[in-house]
């Protein structure tokens, strides 16, 4: 339980008593330290210590840049730290915080600001988390995890989501005046968005200083009834409050009665409260009782706009809504999957930050790689180096010189290992860490491409580089580079990737402004002075940054109108969270022209797209007119954004009206021309309604004329083309491919600027399937560098559904020069916070270029497979038909099942039946049969399948391509392998299992139980190839992918009846 006296001590600045007598930490163990930043001396005094985690107090509050530099110096002597900057009125607590609710994963320096004398339940709760009980013995790791833990949005989502969906469905059914079901769903989603936005606003006292504004207005409206008066909450209050109150700066209400009921509320703008197109063409009514039920649900939760949550378990903040919105959109949109924040952040950071650093280096000559070589550990993820200094247990170390190392496949201890790691994996992770550290220290990482390959913390490096820019001119260059970066998700859903981009951009913008403030204290630069004047004219720096970034950096497209509105709402909430009082609240940016509804697959990329298909129907005169129209739209957009940034309310309204009119006219003309050029038979109006065409060069004219987007990120929908019946597309190199993720991906490539970068999540089929070779060709012809990381779906998965996925990141203009891939990651859920921080890329060698985008655990495995592949493959020994076949199961997860004697399959009637999903390979002799059966159950064969297939289906193509040739094997060695094949055959009955499937007990063999025999097969294969010293690499790779969780619910080791 928290203690009210704790905050009394905080407000009194008595931190020593707080930590030593209330939180039961230990006394300081280090003397005060002095840190010099920009010739200014700061003294920090240690307040308390807990097993190496030290609390430091600085009695002044310098600017944020200086705080970061102080922290950087303190880290050198106190890696685990909590810094408090305090004066008599304000305290700024700085601690390392992880994005994970359990406090694991990569921490970043977080800020918690406290005004002395104010209540601060979030800070009080945080102190509770790091307090030590009188009789409690807590490890340093546990305290660090408590301190670093983040708000657990997942936990709240599970409780709130089902109720939210039910209320939204009830609202849709209660709406009167909209006949179309999809329009009614769309409008109900809009109403829910508006109501939730107001719930956040009223909790900040922005709505007539009433924390229960909506509920109280509903009650007041009911109390006003009588004497012949009858009021409807929707018609008589919500609509005027939306349109005239929050949506119009004039607040020109129809009468004083409505004006008094609405009260003192701010003008919001942003488009969310303007009259909606469904409201303008329909006479809508919504009964009062549905709002009562919605408010009953909302009132069961605490609504707040930051992520400094308490532990009450019922908070709703924008992160929770993000989860809700993602799931809401995904359950409506086939093929869309909820993308968690760790993935969106990783992908956006791997593209946006490299674009910035590369341009900063080119335009200023600044060399960020010197900072990397000076202090490599600062930019290496904590997960990768976890436990690096802890020696291995004596019994484990004693096996190092042994070939098999029998204990190394067991779970490693948690003091040195990440969750689920074996000793093999821990050893390889340490080797990976040493390789990254050495490469950084030896100046081998000297470009963004190499930094991406080594998977470094580039955000930290970017901010450190900005902090050290040595002139205001360099800082202004950094500002221009940042504001010229255009980020888009072309299938944006509810905006998860755009939100991730905003979270990355905000601290980078902030660092630039902090650095500019420092320089302009001693020198003058008119351009910089003008920028800071603009910043100071706003409520605060954070709000200015967020508003500016949403207007100039972020773009999105989605075919679902509900998704687009939700994406805008999430960004609006982020802005409102930066405001502390209503007087500071400015009109929100109007994002209608940044985040748009449309079909990314249907429409013209540029004017040439129409001309190319026009057969002279699109005349030069028409082409010129469209180009001129695109120019007018571009200039109108620029005026519109300028008016918003300068807060010219009348100019904003005029510019918006001009833009909408201009876009409407140009869309109609281009739709007509495109429809004609494509030779479509259906009526134009019907085609527009069903296909929702999106013409890139008129929707984003300035961006497309400038070569496209600098950063393209997203998770395209995975839907079989045969299931798309509402629209058709053509004109892509991937038109014929069976899933629409292929043309969506090709479109993403098309809109990427030549020096831009792209990162998409794709199904694993994109890597190996011959069907998707045209998609791989699109990337290989366009990008110099590709990075592909792959993820299985067992025992855990990236998404809430079973999808085997790959994250593809690309950069550089020109034909592919280097393909870097990872192994196929398998992990337990507790490992998830470390998953992306520990991935390691390996460059594909030329010897494996014929194997598609083969996944590679490390360079040694790449070398091994290259040598084996050159010697030949198993399929060389196949014959058309024989009496000595090898059978195999056509599906797998953690091992390949191949055998000479098929396991018996039984019906529920206890009769043996034909096996299902079984393949067959024919060999000429019994020796070849036994040798092949042994090879196919080896770890090497499993590894080959896992690195080249889809991690579920076992195809004949994969089996015959296993890189071991019987023909190239010496007769003596082949005989040895065949003998092992016979031993495995004899042992297989001891490993029988059955899986209940389609009304049958399908027989199989639990091959991992026979590893003592199959390991000997692997060793013989390696010896034959002269590669025996590669055995340990196979073991690491195997255990990295072998993560079984026991028998499945449908599997049994004994049948419920006697076998015949």
Banded model confidence at residue 893, pLDDT cuts 50, 70, 90: very high
Cβ(49)–Cβ(27) below 8 Å: yes
> What residues contact residue 624 under an 8 Å CB cut-off, 6+ apart?
none
Q: How far is CA 252 from CA 195, 258, 267, 746, 857, in A?
A: 22, 10, 12, 49, 66
Decide if pLDDT at 302 tops 70: yes
CA 869 to chain centre: 36
- Beta carbons of 335 and 719 less than 8 angstroms apart: yes
If one counts every other C-beta atom within 10 angstroms of the C-beta of residue 539, the result is 16
Q: Alpha-carbon distance 767 to 773, whole Å?
A: 8
User: Is the N-terminal amide bond of 795 cis, ω within 30° of 0?
Assistant: yes
pLDDT recorded at residue 310: 45
How far is the C-alpha of 132 from the C-alpha of 138, rounded, in Å? Answer: 7
> What is d(CA 39, CA 1040) in angstroms, rounded to the nearest whole number?
50
Q: Tell me what pLDDT residue 274 has.
A: 86
pLDDT in tens, 1025-1047: 999 999 999 999 999 999 998 87
Q: What is the structure's pLDDT at 387?
A: 93
**Averaged pLDDT, 804-828:** 96
Could you read off the pLDDT of 243-297 as tens digits, one per residue? Answer: 999 988 888 999 999 999 999 999 987 678 988 989 999 999 999 999 999 999 9
Per-residue pLDDT, 799: 81
User: Is residue 53 within a helix (H) or strand (E), and if so which, with residue range?
Assistant: strand 53-58
Q: Which residue has the higher pLDDT, 567 or 85?
A: 85
Q: For the chain, how many residues are written?
A: 1060
Structure-token pair, residue 515: 């650095």
User: Averaged over 750-775, what is the pLDDT?
Assistant: 96
Task: State pLDDT tens for residues 66-87.
Answer: 999 999 999 999 889 999 999 9
- Paired with 693 in beta bridges are 599
Average pLDDT over residues 718-741: 94
**419-440: per-residue pLDDT in tens?**
999 999 999 999 999 999 999 9
Average pLDDT value for residue range 579-596: 87
Measure the CA–CA gap between 54 and 381, rounded to whole angstroms: 21
Q: Could you give the CA distance from residue 458 to residue 447 in angstroms, rounded to a whole number?
A: 11
Contact 195, 239 (CB under 8 A): no
Over the stretch 447-479, which tens digit does the pLDDT of each residue have? 999 999 999 999 999 999 999 999 999 999 999
Domain boundaries, given as residue ranges, for the chain = 4-148, 153-316, 379-450, 734-856, 860-1052
Of all residues in the chain, the percent with pLDDT exceeding 70 is 94
Arithmetic mean of pLDDT, 764-775: 94
Confidence class of residue 317 from pLDDT cuts 50, 70 and 90? confident
Q: Mean pLDDT for the chain?
A: 91
pLDDT of residue 775: 98
- Point out the least confidently predicted range of 319-333, 832-846, 862-876: 319-333
Establish whether the linkage from the previous residue to 802 is cis, with ω within 30° of 0: no
Q: Which of 332-341, 465-474, 518-527 has the lowest mean pLDDT?
A: 332-341
Q: Is 279 exposed, middle or buried, given 0-12, 13-18 or 19+ CB atoms closer than 10 A?
A: middle
CA distance 48 to 27: 5
* Beta-bridge partner residues of 474: none
Least-confidence region, from 118-122, 541-545, 691-695, 944-948: 118-122
Note the pLDDT of residue 304. Answer: 77
Residue range 844-881, pLDDT digits in tens: 999 999 888 999 999 999 999 999 999 999 999 999 99
Helix (H) / strand (E) containing 43: strand 40-50
Q: What per-residue confidence (pLDDT) applies to 617?
A: 46
CA dist., res. 874 & res. 886, Å (int):
12
Please give the full DSSP string across 651-666, using - where no structure is assigned: HHHHHHHHHHHHHHHH
Cα–Cα distance, 603 to 731 (Å, whole number): 10
Task: State how far the Cα of 393 lies from the Cα of 914, in Å rounded to an integer.
Answer: 51
Q: Take residue 1034 and report the two structure tokens written for it.
A: 């196979």
Choose which CATH entry (3.40.190.80, 3.40.710.10, 3.40.50.150, 3.30.1700.10) describes domain 734-856.
Answer: 3.40.50.150
pLDDT at 229 over 80: no
pLDDT by residue (tens digit) across 133-181?
877 888 887 888 877 775 555 666 666 878 888 899 999 999 999 999 9
| Mean pLDDT within 106-120 | 84
Q: Which residues contact 173 (CB under 8 A, 6 or more apart)?
A: none
Pair of tokens at residue 257:
């009665």
Query: What's the whole-number mean pLDDT along residues 89-116?
Result: 82
pTM over 0.95: no
Which residue in this structure is represented by tokens 């005004």? Answer: 115
At 313, the pLDDT band (50, 70, 90 cuts) reads: low
Higher-confidence residue of 101 and 43: namely: 43
**What pLDDT is recorded for position 646?**
82
Query: What span, in angstroms and rounded, lies between the C-alpha atoms of 904 and 602?
Result: 52
């Amino acid at each position: 339980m928290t203690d009210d006296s704790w905050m009394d001590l905080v407000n009194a600045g008595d931190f020593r008593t707080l930590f030593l007598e209330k939180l039961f930490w230990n006394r300081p163990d280090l003397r005060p330290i002095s840190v010099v930043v920009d010739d200014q001396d700061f003294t920090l005094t240690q307040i308390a210590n807990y097993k190496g985690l030290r609390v430091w107090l600085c009695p002044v509050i310098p600017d944020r840049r200086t705080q970061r530099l102080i922290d950087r110096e303190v880290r050198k002597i106190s890696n685990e730290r909590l810094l408090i900057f305090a004066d008599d009125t304000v305290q700024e607590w700085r601690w390392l915080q992880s994005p994970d609710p359990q406090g694991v994963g990569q921490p970043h320096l977080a800020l918690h600001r406290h005004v002395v004398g104010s209540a601060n339940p979030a800070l009080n709760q945080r102190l509770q988390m790091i307090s030590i009980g009188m009789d409690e013995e807590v490890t340093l790791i546990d305290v660090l995890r408590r301190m670093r833990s983040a708000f657990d949005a997942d936990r709240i989502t599970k409780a709130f989501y089902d109720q939210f969906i039910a209320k939204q469905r009830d609202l849709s059914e209660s709406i009167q005046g909209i006949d179309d079901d999809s329009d009614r769903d769309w409008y109900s989603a809009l109403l829910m968005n508006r109501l939730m936005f107001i719930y956040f606003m009223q909790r900040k006292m922005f709505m007539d200083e009433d924390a229960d504004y909506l509920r109280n207005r509903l009650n007041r409206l009911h109390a006003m009834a009588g004497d012949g008066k009858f009021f409807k909450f929707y018609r008589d209050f919500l609509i005027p409050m939306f349109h005239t109150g929050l949506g119009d700066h004039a607040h020109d209400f129809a009468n004083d009665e409505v004006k008094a009921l609405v009260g003192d509320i701010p003008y919001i703008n942003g488009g969310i409260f303007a009259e909606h197109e469904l409201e303008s063409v329909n006479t809508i009514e919504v009964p009062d009782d549905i709002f009562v039920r919605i408010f009953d649900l909302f009132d069961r939760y605490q609504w707040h706009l930051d992520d400094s949550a308490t532990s009450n378990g019922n908070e709703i903040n924008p992160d929770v809504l993000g989860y809700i919105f993602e799931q809401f959109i995904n359950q409506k949109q086939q093929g869309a999957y909820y993308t968690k924040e760790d993935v969106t952040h990783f992908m956006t950071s791997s593209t946006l930050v490299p674009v910035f650093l590369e341009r900063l280096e080119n335009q200023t000559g600044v060399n960020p790689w010197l900072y990397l070589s000076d202090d490599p550990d600062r930019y290496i993820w904590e997960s990768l180096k976890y436990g690096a200094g802890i020696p291995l247990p004596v019994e484990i170390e004693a096996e190092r010189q042994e070939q098999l190392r029998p204990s190394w496949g067991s779970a490693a201890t948690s003091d040195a290992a990440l969750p689920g790691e074996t000793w093999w994996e821990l050893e390889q992770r340490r080797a990976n860490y040493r390789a990254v550290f050495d490469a950084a220290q030896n100046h081998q990482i000297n470009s963004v491409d190499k930094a991406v390959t080594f998977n470094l913390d580039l955000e930290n490096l970017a901010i450190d580089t900005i902090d050290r820019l040595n002139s205001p001119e360099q800082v202004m260059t950094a500002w221009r580079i940042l504001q010229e970066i255009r980020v888009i998700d072309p299938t944006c859903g509810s905006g998860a990737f755009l939100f991730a981009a905003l979270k990355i951009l905000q601290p980078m913008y902030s660092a630039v402004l902090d650095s500019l403030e420092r320089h302009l204290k001693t020198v003058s630069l008119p351009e910089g002075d003008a920028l800071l004047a603009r910043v100071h004219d706003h409520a605060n720096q954070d709000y200015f940054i967020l508003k500016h970034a949403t207007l100039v950096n972020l773009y999105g497209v989605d075919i679902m109108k509900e998704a687009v509105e939700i994406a805008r709402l999430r960004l609006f909430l982020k802005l409102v969270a930066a405001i502390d009082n209503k007087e500071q609240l400015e009109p929100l940016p109007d994002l209608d022209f940044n985040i748009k509804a449309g079909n990314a697959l249907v429409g013209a990329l540029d004017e040439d797209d129409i001309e190319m298909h026009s057969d002279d129907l699109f005349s030069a005169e028409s082409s010129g007119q469209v180009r001129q129209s695109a120019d007018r739209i571009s200039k109108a957009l620029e005026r519109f954004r300028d008016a918003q940034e300068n807060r010219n309310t009348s100019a904003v309204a005029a510019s918006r009206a001009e833009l909408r009119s201009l876009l409407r006219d140009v869309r109609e003309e281009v739709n007509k021309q495109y429809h004609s050029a494509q030779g479509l038979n259906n009526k134009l109006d019907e085609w527009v309604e069903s296909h929702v065409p999106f013409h890139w060069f008129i929707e984003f004219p300035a961006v497309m004329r400038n070569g496209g987007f600098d950063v393209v990120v997203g998770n395209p929908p995975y839907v079989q083309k045969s299931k798309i019946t509402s629209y058709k597309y053509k004109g892509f190199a991937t038109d014929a491919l069976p899933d629409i993720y292929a043309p969506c991906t090709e479109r993403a490539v098309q809109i990427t600027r030549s020096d831009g970068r792209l990162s998409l999540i794709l199904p694993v089929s994109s890597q190996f399937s011959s069907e998707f070779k045209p998609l791989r060709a699109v990337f290989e012809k366009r990008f110099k560098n590709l990075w592909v990381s792959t993820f299985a779906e067992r025992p855990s998965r990236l998404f809430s559904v079973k999808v085997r996925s790959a994250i593809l990141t690309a950069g550089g203009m020109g034909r592919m020069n280097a393909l870097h891939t990872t192994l196929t990651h398998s992990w337990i859920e507790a490992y998830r916070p470390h998953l992306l921080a520990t991935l390691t890329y390996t460059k594909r060698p030329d010897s494996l270029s014929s194997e598609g985008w083969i996944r590679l655990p490390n360079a040694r495995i790449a070398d091994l497979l290259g040598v084996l592949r050159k010697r030949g493959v198993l399929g060389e020994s196949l014959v058309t038909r024989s009496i000595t076949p090898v059978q195999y199961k056509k599906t797998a997860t953690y091992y390949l099942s191949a055998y000479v004697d098929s396991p018996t399959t039984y019906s529920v009637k206890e009769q043996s039946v034909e096996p299902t999903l079984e393949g067959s390979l024919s060999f000429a002799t019994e020796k070849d049969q036994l040798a092949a059966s042994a090879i196919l159950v080896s770890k090497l064969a499993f590894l080959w399948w896992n690195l080249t297939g889809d991690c579920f289906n076992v195809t004949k193509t994969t089996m015959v391509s296993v890189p071991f040739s019987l023909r190239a094997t010496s007769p003596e060695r082949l005989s040895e392998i065949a003998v092992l094949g016979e031993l495995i055959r004899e042992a297989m009955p001891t490993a029988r299992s059955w899986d209940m499937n389609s009304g049958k007990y399908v027989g199989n063999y639990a091959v991992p139980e026979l590893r003592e025999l199959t390991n000997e097969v692997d060793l013989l294969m390696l010896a034959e190839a002269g590669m025996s010293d590669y055995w340990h690499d196979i073991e690491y790779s195997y255990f990295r992918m072998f993560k079984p969780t026991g028998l499945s619910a449908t599997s049994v080791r004994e049948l419920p009846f006697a076998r015949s």
